[in-house]
């Protein structure tokens, strides 16, 4: 085992004992984030806020690699109310949490208590130089030491994380050399990788899979177009594909239209639809 892998392994073993504070005495308080995202179709910026509460554990399937729909909600951790709304749906959900969000830790703890899957929503460099991915993004040309320091800090900020996906990252995830270097770090952690595919030539899934990391990639964005009706249309399309025995991974964001659409869709969704956690959707190493 390399020295870096050993360091990450020791860190993971101590996470459960880490003090429950969002601002340890040796860190600088983080300002409220201006939340943004970019899609595969466009590089647009959107203000966001969003986040969490406790519910009964949702049920999921035990069938290995089943067809079905897995819903990922990105950009969580800035507002607890959005997460509470999501948890009240009482369905299998995957929470992708910004490490530096104001309520990242509380969101992770509440989602874990409800039985949801937790991901580190890692900021990465975008093609648009004006885009603001948030504090400590991974950038092309960054040293292994800096990448590893950011990753280890984020493991602490997002307890119970089982996976990682990219926030923005159209430039970073398109760079094979940088992605390969970061995947070497992830490989030591035991986390899986979800490629959000914010750029058509992203190599995050390819590199992770090649290095033996369980991985998956996004199939569809739920809210690339604004409005409740547009989100419902995407949910219906995701459902249609899943019922055709496909495995669909859909990414949405905790906006009011998306939350309202999810509530309505959940109240009338086809009972034959199987909802999955991401760990049911991973391509094995």
* Domains of the chain with bracketed CATH: 70-280 (3.20.20.370)
What is the length of the chain?
A: 285
pTM (predicted TM-score): 0.79
Q: Percentage of the chain with pLDDT > 70?
A: 77
Cα 123 off chain centre by:
10
Considering Cα of 161, then 33, then 38, then 148, what sign does the dihedral take? negative
Distance CA 243, CA 173 (A): 31
E runs forming strands in the chain: 68-76, 94-97, 117-124, 163-168, 192-195, 215-217, 220-221, 247-252, 275-276
Cα 135 off chain centre by:
16
Q: Is residue 63's pLDDT more than 50? A: no
Q: How does pLDDT run across 160-188, given as a tens digit for each residue?
A: 999 999 999 999 999 999 999 999 999 99
Distance CA 83, CA 79 (A): 7
């Amino acid at each position: 085992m390399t020295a870096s892998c050993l360091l990450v392994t020791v860190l993971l073993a101590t996470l459960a004992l880490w003090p429950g504070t969002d601002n340890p005495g040796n860190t600088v308080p983080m300002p409220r984030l201006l939340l943004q995202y970019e899609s595969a179709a466009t590089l647009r910026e959107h203000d966001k806020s969003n986040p969490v509460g406790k519910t009964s554990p949702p049920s999921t399937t035990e069938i290995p690699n089943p067809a079905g729909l897995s819903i990922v909600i990105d950009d969580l951790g800035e507002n607890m109310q959005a997460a509470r709304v999501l948890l009240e749906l009482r369905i299998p959900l995957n929470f992708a949490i910004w490490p530096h969000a104001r309520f990242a830790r509380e969101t992770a703890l509440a989602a874990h208590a409800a039985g949801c899957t937790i991901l580190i929503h890692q900021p990465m460099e975008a093609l648009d130089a004006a885009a603001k991915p948030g504090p400590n993004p991974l950038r092309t040309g960054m040293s292994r030491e800096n990448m590893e320091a950011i990753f280890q800090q984020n493991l602490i900020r997002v307890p119970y994380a089982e996976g990682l996906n990219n926030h923005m990252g159209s430039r970073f995830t398109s760079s094979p050399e940088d992605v390969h270097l970061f995947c070497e770090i992830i490989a030591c952690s035991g986390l899986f990788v979800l490629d959000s595919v914010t750029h058509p030539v992203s190599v995050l899934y390819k590199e992770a899979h090649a290095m033996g990391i369980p991985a998956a990639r996004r199939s569809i964005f739920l809210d690339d177009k604004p409005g409740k009706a547009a989100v419902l249309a995407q949910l219906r399309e995701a459902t249609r594909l899943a019922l055709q025995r496909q495995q669909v991974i859909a990414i949405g964001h905790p906006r009011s239209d998306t939350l309202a659409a999810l509530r309505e869709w959940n109240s009338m969704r086809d009972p034959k639809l199987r909802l999955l956690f991401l760990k049911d959707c991973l391509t094995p190493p």
